[in-house]
Amino acid sequence: MGAGGEVLTDHIVQTISVIDTHTGGEPTRVVYAGGPDLGTGSLAERRERFRTEFDHWRSAIVNEPRGSDVMVGALLTPPVDPSCRAGVIFFNNVGVLGMCGHGTIGVAVALGHLGRVSA
């Protein structure tokens, strides 16, 4: 496996940084670096781009062998509103989600660990 993102056997090695959280036993994998470039636009537009162009990426994050059918993913994006710390797109083993309660708590905790928010 290449350490610097070089091409190996026709595949591109990409580093993705995550924090796995558990809220009441429910897992959330928060992706805070290395996610796909969703461009600009509203969060709804970015979510749609994620759904249509990066479903393979979603599947790799939450499905076996690294995930499971109960895992929820949370992709942090640059905020649309400058008063916000981050945008977030939730997804699971089936597709993109409109919202996730336990995932929201997991994202808040992860943002705290990253120093992006304080109590």
Instruction: State the pTM of this model.
Output: 0.88
Output the tens digit of pLDDT for each of the chain's 119 residues.
Answer: 455 666 556 767 789 999 999 999 999 999 999 999 999 999 999 999 999 999 999 999 999 999 999 999 999 999 999 999 999 999 999 999 999 999 999 999 999 999 999 86
Domains in the chain: ranges and CATH:
17-113 (3.10.310.10)
The strand order across the sheet containing 26-33 reads 17-23, 26-33, 72-77, 87-91, 96-97
